[in-house]
Amino acid sequence: MTDRSFGAEVVGRPDGVRLQMRGDLDSRADETLRDAYREVATSGSPGLTLDFGEVGYINSTGIALVVRLLADARRDGRGVRAVGLTRHYQEIFRITRLSDFMDIVEGDAA
Amino acid sequence: MTLRRSAGVADSSADSTALTSFSLPGLAGNDREAMDRVAAAVADLELPPDRVDRLKTAVSEAAMNAIEYGSHGRADVPFDVDVVVTPTDVIVRVTDRALSGPVPTDPETPDLERKLAGDQKPRGWGLFLIEHMVDAIDVSADEAAGTQTVTLRIAREEKRHD
Protein backbone atom coordinates (compact mmCIF):
# COMPACT_ATOMS: atom_id res chain seq x y z
CA MET A 1 0.00 0.00 0.00
CA THR A 2 1.32 3.41 -0.95
CA ASP A 3 2.37 5.64 1.93
CA ARG A 4 0.66 8.96 1.28
CA SER A 5 1.31 10.47 4.68
CA PHE A 6 2.54 14.03 4.49
CA GLY A 7 6.14 14.91 5.15
CA ALA A 8 8.18 18.08 4.83
CA GLU A 9 11.91 18.66 4.94
CA VAL A 10 13.67 22.02 5.07
CA VAL A 11 16.77 22.07 2.91
CA GLY A 12 19.25 24.93 2.71
CA ARG A 13 20.32 25.96 -0.77
CA PRO A 14 22.42 28.81 -2.14
CA ASP A 15 19.30 30.64 -3.35
CA GLY A 16 17.39 30.25 -0.09
CA VAL A 17 15.63 27.49 1.77
CA ARG A 18 13.53 24.89 0.07
CA LEU A 19 10.61 23.13 1.72
CA GLN A 20 10.45 19.72 0.12
CA MET A 21 7.02 18.18 0.63
CA ARG A 22 5.73 14.71 -0.08
CA GLY A 23 2.45 12.84 0.28
CA ASP A 24 -1.08 14.20 0.60
CA LEU A 25 -1.51 17.85 1.53
CA ASP A 26 -4.73 17.77 3.54
CA SER A 27 -5.89 18.38 7.11
CA ARG A 28 -3.47 15.80 8.44
CA ALA A 29 -0.54 17.91 7.20
CA ASP A 30 -1.41 20.77 9.56
CA GLU A 31 1.12 20.29 12.34
CA THR A 32 3.92 19.08 10.08
CA LEU A 33 3.63 22.11 7.85
CA ARG A 34 3.39 24.48 10.81
CA ASP A 35 6.54 22.99 12.32
CA ALA A 36 8.33 23.13 8.98
CA TYR A 37 7.63 26.83 8.62
CA ARG A 38 8.97 27.47 12.11
CA GLU A 39 12.22 25.85 10.98
CA VAL A 40 12.22 28.02 7.86
CA ALA A 41 11.70 31.11 9.99
CA THR A 42 14.66 30.33 12.22
CA SER A 43 16.88 30.03 9.14
CA GLY A 44 16.49 33.74 8.46
CA SER A 45 16.45 33.11 4.73
CA PRO A 46 14.76 35.91 2.75
CA GLY A 47 13.34 33.45 0.23
CA LEU A 48 11.39 30.21 0.44
CA THR A 49 10.79 27.67 -2.30
CA LEU A 50 7.84 25.33 -1.82
CA ASP A 51 8.61 22.10 -3.63
CA PHE A 52 5.41 20.20 -4.48
CA GLY A 53 7.19 17.69 -6.71
CA GLU A 54 6.27 14.71 -4.54
CA VAL A 55 2.83 15.92 -3.45
CA GLY A 56 0.17 13.87 -5.21
CA TYR A 57 -2.97 15.37 -3.75
CA ILE A 58 -3.99 18.79 -2.46
CA ASN A 59 -7.52 19.39 -1.22
CA SER A 60 -9.12 22.64 -0.11
CA THR A 61 -7.84 22.20 3.43
CA GLY A 62 -4.36 21.82 1.97
CA ILE A 63 -4.91 25.05 0.05
CA ALA A 64 -5.85 26.69 3.34
CA LEU A 65 -2.59 25.46 4.88
CA VAL A 66 -0.66 27.00 1.98
CA VAL A 67 -2.58 30.25 2.54
CA ARG A 68 -1.58 30.23 6.21
CA LEU A 69 2.06 29.56 5.34
CA LEU A 70 2.02 32.33 2.71
CA ALA A 71 0.52 34.75 5.25
CA ASP A 72 3.26 33.86 7.74
CA ALA A 73 5.95 34.33 5.09
CA ARG A 74 4.58 37.73 4.03
CA ARG A 75 4.42 38.81 7.66
CA ASP A 76 8.10 37.88 7.93
CA GLY A 77 9.02 39.64 4.68
CA ARG A 78 9.92 36.38 3.01
CA GLY A 79 9.35 35.85 -0.71
CA VAL A 80 7.75 32.57 -1.74
CA ARG A 81 7.83 30.60 -4.96
CA ALA A 82 6.41 27.22 -5.86
CA VAL A 83 7.97 24.47 -7.97
CA GLY A 84 6.83 21.00 -8.97
CA LEU A 85 3.10 21.70 -9.26
CA THR A 86 1.25 19.70 -11.88
CA ARG A 87 -0.69 21.62 -14.53
CA HIS A 88 -3.90 20.91 -12.66
CA TYR A 89 -2.65 22.31 -9.38
CA GLN A 90 -1.13 25.27 -11.21
CA GLU A 91 -4.66 25.93 -12.44
CA ILE A 92 -5.99 25.70 -8.90
CA PHE A 93 -3.33 28.10 -7.67
CA ARG A 94 -4.44 30.46 -10.44
CA ILE A 95 -8.15 30.10 -9.61
CA THR A 96 -7.52 30.74 -5.93
CA ARG A 97 -5.14 33.60 -6.85
CA LEU A 98 -2.26 32.05 -4.92
CA SER A 99 -0.27 32.56 -8.11
CA ASP A 100 -0.73 36.33 -7.66
CA PHE A 101 1.24 36.15 -4.44
CA MET A 102 3.94 33.61 -5.26
CA ASP A 103 5.97 32.82 -8.35
CA ILE A 104 4.95 29.55 -9.94
CA VAL A 105 7.92 27.90 -11.58
CA GLU A 106 6.95 25.40 -14.24
CA GLY A 107 8.57 22.01 -14.22
CA ASP A 108 11.20 21.14 -11.68
CA ALA A 109 13.39 24.17 -12.17
CA ALA A 110 15.84 24.77 -9.40
CA MET B 1 -21.95 27.23 -14.22
CA THR B 2 -25.12 26.30 -12.43
CA LEU B 3 -25.48 26.05 -8.69
CA ARG B 4 -28.96 25.43 -7.47
CA ARG B 5 -30.88 23.82 -4.71
CA SER B 6 -33.63 21.50 -5.84
CA ALA B 7 -36.17 19.17 -4.36
CA GLY B 8 -34.51 16.34 -6.16
CA VAL B 9 -32.64 15.57 -9.31
CA ALA B 10 -34.61 13.75 -11.87
CA ASP B 11 -32.21 12.16 -14.22
CA SER B 12 -34.43 10.87 -16.87
CA SER B 13 -31.71 8.85 -17.94
CA ALA B 14 -32.89 6.15 -20.09
CA ASP B 15 -29.58 6.61 -21.82
CA SER B 16 -27.48 6.62 -18.68
CA THR B 17 -25.25 3.81 -17.48
CA ALA B 18 -24.27 3.22 -13.87
CA LEU B 19 -20.50 2.93 -13.51
CA THR B 20 -20.09 2.42 -9.79
CA SER B 21 -21.82 2.87 -6.47
CA PHE B 22 -20.17 2.63 -3.06
CA SER B 23 -20.30 3.82 0.53
CA LEU B 24 -17.40 4.94 2.72
CA PRO B 25 -17.08 5.72 6.42
CA GLY B 26 -17.26 9.43 7.16
CA LEU B 27 -13.63 9.66 8.15
CA ALA B 28 -10.99 12.23 7.18
CA GLY B 29 -8.94 10.88 4.31
CA ASN B 30 -11.84 9.13 2.61
CA ASP B 31 -12.25 12.18 0.37
CA ARG B 32 -9.19 10.89 -1.45
CA GLU B 33 -10.49 7.32 -1.44
CA ALA B 34 -13.75 8.50 -3.03
CA MET B 35 -11.80 10.49 -5.60
CA ASP B 36 -9.60 7.55 -6.54
CA ARG B 37 -12.56 5.20 -6.88
CA VAL B 38 -14.43 7.61 -9.14
CA ALA B 39 -11.30 8.11 -11.24
CA ALA B 40 -10.99 4.35 -11.64
CA ALA B 41 -14.65 4.09 -12.61
CA VAL B 42 -14.33 6.62 -15.44
CA ALA B 43 -10.93 5.42 -16.64
CA ASP B 44 -12.34 3.54 -19.61
CA LEU B 45 -14.27 6.58 -20.87
CA GLU B 46 -11.02 8.12 -22.12
CA LEU B 47 -11.95 11.58 -20.93
CA PRO B 48 -9.42 14.32 -21.61
CA PRO B 49 -6.89 14.28 -18.75
CA ASP B 50 -7.68 17.82 -17.65
CA ARG B 51 -11.35 16.93 -17.28
CA VAL B 52 -10.47 13.89 -15.22
CA ASP B 53 -8.37 16.09 -12.94
CA ARG B 54 -11.24 18.55 -12.57
CA LEU B 55 -13.72 15.79 -11.82
CA LYS B 56 -11.36 14.30 -9.23
CA THR B 57 -10.97 17.58 -7.40
CA ALA B 58 -14.74 18.22 -7.44
CA VAL B 59 -15.46 14.73 -6.11
CA SER B 60 -12.89 15.00 -3.36
CA GLU B 61 -14.27 18.35 -2.24
CA ALA B 62 -17.86 17.10 -2.27
CA ALA B 63 -16.76 14.04 -0.31
CA MET B 64 -14.88 16.19 2.18
CA ASN B 65 -18.01 18.27 2.77
CA ALA B 66 -19.95 15.04 3.27
CA ILE B 67 -17.37 13.84 5.80
CA GLU B 68 -17.13 17.09 7.74
CA TYR B 69 -20.72 18.28 7.67
CA GLY B 70 -22.74 15.19 6.82
CA SER B 71 -20.88 12.70 9.01
CA HIS B 72 -19.06 14.95 11.52
CA GLY B 73 -16.01 12.80 10.84
CA ARG B 74 -17.64 9.72 12.36
CA ALA B 75 -16.79 6.30 10.96
CA ASP B 76 -20.26 5.03 11.77
CA VAL B 77 -21.93 7.70 9.62
CA PRO B 78 -21.16 6.83 6.02
CA PHE B 79 -21.58 8.74 2.80
CA ASP B 80 -22.52 7.29 -0.56
CA VAL B 81 -21.15 7.88 -4.04
CA ASP B 82 -22.88 6.99 -7.31
CA VAL B 83 -21.42 7.53 -10.75
CA VAL B 84 -23.39 7.36 -13.96
CA VAL B 85 -22.45 8.25 -17.49
CA THR B 86 -24.60 9.52 -20.34
CA PRO B 87 -23.56 10.02 -23.95
CA THR B 88 -22.59 13.60 -23.07
CA ASP B 89 -21.88 13.81 -19.34
CA VAL B 90 -20.46 12.15 -16.28
CA ILE B 91 -22.70 12.58 -13.25
CA VAL B 92 -21.50 11.96 -9.71
CA ARG B 93 -23.84 12.02 -6.72
CA VAL B 94 -22.43 12.30 -3.20
CA THR B 95 -25.07 11.64 -0.55
CA ASP B 96 -24.49 12.30 3.12
CA ARG B 97 -26.50 12.02 6.33
CA ALA B 98 -26.77 15.80 6.77
CA LEU B 99 -25.83 15.86 10.47
CA SER B 100 -25.10 19.59 10.17
CA GLY B 101 -28.20 20.36 8.16
CA PRO B 102 -28.22 21.84 4.68
CA VAL B 103 -25.01 22.74 2.89
CA PRO B 104 -24.99 26.52 2.45
CA THR B 105 -25.28 27.30 -1.23
CA ASP B 106 -24.28 30.94 -0.77
CA PRO B 107 -21.18 30.83 1.41
CA GLU B 108 -18.85 33.79 1.67
CA THR B 109 -16.77 34.02 -1.48
CA PRO B 110 -13.15 33.32 -0.61
CA ASP B 111 -10.97 36.38 -0.95
CA LEU B 112 -7.27 35.60 -0.79
CA GLU B 113 -6.20 39.13 0.07
CA ARG B 114 -8.57 39.15 3.04
CA LYS B 115 -7.37 35.71 4.08
CA LEU B 116 -3.74 36.83 3.95
CA ALA B 117 -4.64 39.88 6.01
CA GLY B 118 -6.38 37.70 8.60
CA ASP B 119 -9.79 39.21 7.86
CA GLN B 120 -11.16 35.92 6.55
CA LYS B 121 -10.37 32.42 7.77
CA PRO B 122 -7.87 30.48 5.60
CA ARG B 123 -10.43 27.76 4.86
CA GLY B 124 -13.65 28.00 2.88
CA TRP B 125 -12.42 27.01 -0.58
CA GLY B 126 -14.42 23.81 -1.11
CA LEU B 127 -17.57 24.94 -2.86
CA PHE B 128 -15.62 27.63 -4.69
CA LEU B 129 -13.32 24.98 -6.15
CA ILE B 130 -16.19 22.68 -7.08
CA GLU B 131 -17.91 25.51 -8.94
CA HIS B 132 -14.77 26.06 -10.99
CA MET B 133 -14.21 22.37 -11.73
CA VAL B 134 -17.55 21.12 -13.05
CA ASP B 135 -20.23 22.33 -15.42
CA ALA B 136 -23.09 22.14 -12.93
CA ILE B 137 -23.66 21.41 -9.27
CA ASP B 138 -27.02 20.70 -7.70
CA VAL B 139 -27.88 20.25 -4.03
CA SER B 140 -30.98 18.37 -3.03
CA ALA B 141 -32.40 17.08 0.24
CA ASP B 142 -34.50 14.10 1.11
CA GLU B 143 -35.98 15.12 4.43
CA ALA B 144 -37.75 11.83 4.94
CA ALA B 145 -34.51 9.92 4.54
CA GLY B 146 -32.45 12.55 6.38
CA THR B 147 -30.00 12.80 3.54
CA GLN B 148 -28.56 15.45 1.31
CA THR B 149 -27.14 14.88 -2.16
CA VAL B 150 -24.65 16.97 -4.08
CA THR B 151 -24.78 16.18 -7.78
CA LEU B 152 -21.85 17.06 -9.99
CA ARG B 153 -22.13 17.11 -13.74
CA ILE B 154 -19.21 17.46 -16.11
CA ALA B 155 -19.28 17.18 -19.88
CA ARG B 156 -17.23 14.36 -21.32
CA GLU B 157 -15.69 16.77 -23.80
CA GLU B 158 -14.91 20.44 -23.75
CA LYS B 159 -17.82 22.27 -25.32
CA ARG B 160 -16.86 24.10 -28.48
CA HIS B 161 -17.71 27.78 -28.76
CA ASP B 162 -17.69 28.37 -32.51
Question: Please, is B71 exposed, middle or buried when counting C-beta atoms within 10 Å of its C-beta (0-12, 13-18, 19+)?
Answer: buried
Q: What is the pLDDT of residue B10?
A: 44
User: How many other CB atoms sit within 10 Å of the CB of residue B144?
Assistant: 6
Give contacts of B 68-87 with A, CB under 8 A. Answer: none
Closest alpha carbon to B137 in B92, B99, B89: B92
Give the Cα separation of A69 and A89 in Å (integer).
17
The answer to whether B129 and A93 have CB atoms below 8 angstroms apart is no
Give the Cα separation of B35 and A92 in Å (integer).
17
Give the Cα separation of A23 and A62 in Å (integer).
11
Weakest mean pLDDT among A87-101, B14-28, B99-113: B99-113
- The predicted-structure confidence for B36-56, as pLDDT tens digits, reads as follows 999 999 999 999 999 999 999
Residue A63 has its nearest CB partner, among B35, B117, B125, at B125
Could you report the predicted ipTM of this complex, rounded to two decimals?
Answer: 0.89
- The predicted-structure confidence for B98-132, as pLDDT tens digits, reads as follows 998 877 666 789 999 999 999 999 998 999 999 99
Identify any residues that bridge with B125 across adjacent strands, giving them in sequence order. none
Give the distance from residue B61's alpha carbon to the nearest chain A alpha carbon, in angstroms.
7
